[in-house]
């Protein structure tokens, strides 16, 4: 997982708004999440496939309930 502060070089049109001020995009290598803080500085978190899998496992195993149901729903979609 990589975390950087500042501006990450990506075309703004590639970003998908996930809600709550969070955007996502894929740079061909990893999934990136961006969010602005109260000073409008952007934070970027990069997840490779292994890290993303760990986030899904965390949501399914540790959080449970609604999150586990959403992981199962998305996993079953074509």
d(CA 28, CA 33) in angstroms, rounded, equals 14
pTM above 0.85, yes or no: no
What is the per-residue pLDDT across 49-63, written as a single tens digit (0 to 9) for each?
A: 899 889 888 887 877
Angstrom distance (rounded) from CA 60 to CA 10: 30
pLDDT digits (tens, 9 = 90+) for 17-60: 888 888 899 888 888 998 877 776 778 899 998 998 898 888 87
Question: Domain ranges in the chain?
Answer: 1-47, 49-78
CA 61 to chain centre: 18
């Amino acid at each position: 997982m990589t975390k950087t502060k500042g501006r990450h070089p990506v075309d703004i049109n590639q970003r998908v708004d996930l809600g709550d001020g969070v955007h996502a995009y894929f740079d061909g290598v990893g999934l990136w999440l961006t969010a602005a803080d109260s000073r409008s500085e952007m934070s970027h978190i990069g997840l490779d496939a292994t890290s993303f899998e760990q986030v899904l496992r965390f949501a399914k195993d540790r959080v449970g309930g609604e999150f586990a149901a959403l992981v199962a729903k998305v996993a079953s979609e074509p």
